[in-house]
């Protein structure tokens, strides 16, 4: 029943396998908090080792892949997203990165997410809910290099926007790849403009590259509207 | 970072605009801009800043080449140490043996079957 919908989503990046089907927002919130508590008990915060170069923030790598034929729900989004691990230093970052497939070599409909430790790569996370993202669509063959440049700039604090950056996503799709960077406050135009300018610089993009800013509330609304549309027309 | 730092009033980072008419004007090193070098500190306090070259140089240090502990085994996505025994001579064998997560990772491989599905 989701095929039409899935086709529409195909060109979006990273964060879309969620909907509001499973209970009220309050219930979702409660579940999320409980899970966060569980996570915190289970996982220790990463710390830089002796002699390593500390990063300004700790980060966590995530991986997700859409399972074909399964209904999209916020639950399946959470189930399909896997934590790869967290790191606190430059050296720890390379340990993960060197043992991970480059995005350009991934198959299927999959995403790498690199977010600050404690921020889930989901619209609903407190750090993301008022935020948005810059999206750059890339023709095939560019994702690995652009992703590396993007995350090195983020880890090295090249964006100069204080606490605003939440994380970055690379989305491998059928005909193109998408990279995006998420920030906390979509309404902060000085910040979003600075992020855009830094992206142009660190990715070495051609001047005519189209960059699109999308607020997460718009993303959620588009998602819900489409659901409404599907339901109103009787779905399939 | 430190709890005893003084509270400072916030103010905008001074900027000036430089018009770029040609991509060749852009510097190769992204720690610089066409108008000069970026700020190493911001009004909010010192931040830990690394440029691309420095980060890439760190990649070759022995510490950075050790496989991370508890790397989940996701076929086609991660290559935990157990998968590297044959083709990665950079890691001494005892490091691989000491990594008590490899059996754990193998055990969970069945759960990852859903990630192999693709059309």
Are A109 and A69 in contact by the 8 Å Cβ rule? The answer is no
Is pLDDT of A164 > 90? Answer: yes
Mutate to test the interface with B, among A68, A152, A153, A207 (most CBs of B within 10 A): A152
In chain B, the percentage of residues whose pLDDT exceeds 70 is: 34
Interval B59-115: pLDDT, tens:
999 889 888 888 898 988 998 765 444 444 444 444 433 444 433 333 333 333 344
Contact A152 B56 (CB under 8 A): yes
CA distance A145 to B75: 22
A183-198 pLDDT, tens digit each: 999 999 999 999 999 9
DSSP secondary structure letters along chain A = --HHHHHHHTTS-SS-S--S-SS-HHHHHHHHHHHHHHHHHH-PPP-PPTT--EEEEEEEEEEEEPPTTSPP-HHHHHHHEEEEEEEEEHHHHHHHHTTB--GGG--SSEEEEEEETT--SSTTSTTTTT-EEEEEEEETT-HHHHHHHHHHHHHTT-S--TT-EEEEEEEE-SSEEEEEEEES-TT-HHHHHHHHHHHHHHHT--TT--EEEEEHHHHHHHHHHHHHHHHHTT--
Here the ipTM equals 0.78
Using only C-alpha atoms, what is the Rg of chain A? 18
Chain B residues touching residue A91 (CB < 8 angstroms): 58, 61, 63-64
Say whether residue A102 is in contact with chain B using an 8 A CB cutoff. no
Spatial separation of the C-alpha atoms in residues A137 and A152, rounded to whole Å: 19
| Rounded Cα gap, residues A59 and A154, in angstroms | 10
pLDDT of residue A79: 77
Of residues A134 and A232, the one with the higher pLDDT is A134
- Give the nearest chain A residue to B62 (CA atoms): A91
Residues in A 180-219 with any Cβ partner in B closer than 8 A: 190, 201-202, 204, 206-207
Q: What is the C-alpha to C-alpha distance for residues A72 and B63, in angstroms, rounded to an integer? A: 41
Taking the CB of residue A77, how many other CB atoms lie within 10 A of it?
A: 18
Q: Please state, in angstroms and rounded to a whole number, the distance separating the CA atoms of residues A96 and A94.
A: 5
Classified as helix, coil or strand, B40 is coil
Contact B101, B62 (CB under 8 A): no
From the list A177, A212, A148, the residue with the least C-alpha distance to A14 is A177
Q: Which residue has the tokens 């998968």?
A: B83
Closest-approach residue (CA) in chain B for A109: B118
Binning pLDDT at 50, 70 and 90, where does residue A226 land? confident
Chain A residue numbers touching B63 (CB-CB < 8 A) = 49, 51-52, 91, 95
Contact B50 A87 (CB under 8 A): no
Residue B35's contacts (CB-CB under 8 Å, 6 or more residues apart) are B16, B18
Pinpoint the alpha helices (H) of B24-119.
52-58, 62-65, 93-98, 102-107
Q: What is the rounded distance in angstroms from the CA atom of residue A190 to the CA atom of residue B72? A: 39
Give mean pLDDT, residues A26-33: 44
Residue B99's SS3 state is coil
Per the prediction, chain A carries an average pLDDT of: 81
Residue A80, token pair as written in the block? 């399909």
Q: How far is A175 from chain B (nearest CA, A)?
A: 14
Give the C-alpha separation, A122 to A109, whole Å: 17
Are B79 and A82 in contact, with CB atoms under 8 Å apart?
Answer: no
Cβ pair B65:A98 closer than 8 A: yes
| Whether residue A55 has pLDDT greater than 80 | yes
Which pLDDT does position B31 carry in this prediction?
56
Task: Say what the pLDDT of residue A204 is.
Answer: 84
> A220 versus A8: which is more confidently predicted?
A220
Q: What angle do CA A161, A162, A167 make, to 5 degrees?
A: 75
% of chain B surpassing 90 pLDDT: 10
∠ CA(B43), CA(B49), CA(B53), 5° rounding? 150
- Pairwise pLDDT comparison (B91 vs A214), residue with the higher score: A214
* More confident: A129 or B25: A129
């Amino acid at each position: 029943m989701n095929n039409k919908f899935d086709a529409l989503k195909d060109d979006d990046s990273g964060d879309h396998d969620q909907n509001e089907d499973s209970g009220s927002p309050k219930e979702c919130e409660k579940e999320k908090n409980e899970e966060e508590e569980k996570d915190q008990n289970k996982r220790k915060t990463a710390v830089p080792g002796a002699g390593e170069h500390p990063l300004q923030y700790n980060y966590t790598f995530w991986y997700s892949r859409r399972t074909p034929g399964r209904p999209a729900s916020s639950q399946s989004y959470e189930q399909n997203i896997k934590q790869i691990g967290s790191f606190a230093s430059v050296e720890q970052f390379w340990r993960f990165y060197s043992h991970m497939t480059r995005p350009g070599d991934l198959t299927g409909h999959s995403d790498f997410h690199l977010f600050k430790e404690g921020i889930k790569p989901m619209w609903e996370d407190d750090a993301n809910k008022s935020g948005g993202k810059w999206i750059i669509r890339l023709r095939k063959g560019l994702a690995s290099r652009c992703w590396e440049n993007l995350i090195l700039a983020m880890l090295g604090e090249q964006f100069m926007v204080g606490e605003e950056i939440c994380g970055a996503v690379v989305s491998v799709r059928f005909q193109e790849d998408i990279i995006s960077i998420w920030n906390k406050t979509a309404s902060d135009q000085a910040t979003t403009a600075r992020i855009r300018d830094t992206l142009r610089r660190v990715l070495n993009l051609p001047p005519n590259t189209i960059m699109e800013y999308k607020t997460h509330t718009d993303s959620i609304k588009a998602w819900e509207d489409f659901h409404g549309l599907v339901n109103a027309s009787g779905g399939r | 970072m430190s709890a005893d730092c003084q509270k400072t009033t916030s103010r905008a980072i001074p900027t000036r605009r430089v018009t770029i008419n040609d991509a060749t004007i852009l510097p190769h090193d992204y720690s610089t801009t066409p108008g000069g070098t970026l700020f190493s500190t911001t009004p909010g306090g010192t931040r830990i800043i690394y440029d691309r070259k420095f980060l890439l140089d760190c990649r070759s240090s022995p510490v950075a080449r050790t496989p991370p502990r508890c790397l989940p085994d996701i076929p086609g996505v991660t290559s935990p140490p157990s998968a590297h025994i044959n083709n990665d001579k950079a890691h001494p064998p005892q490091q691989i043996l000491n990594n008590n997560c490899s059996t754990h990772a193998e055990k969970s491989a069945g759960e990852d079957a859903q990630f192999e599905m693709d059309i």
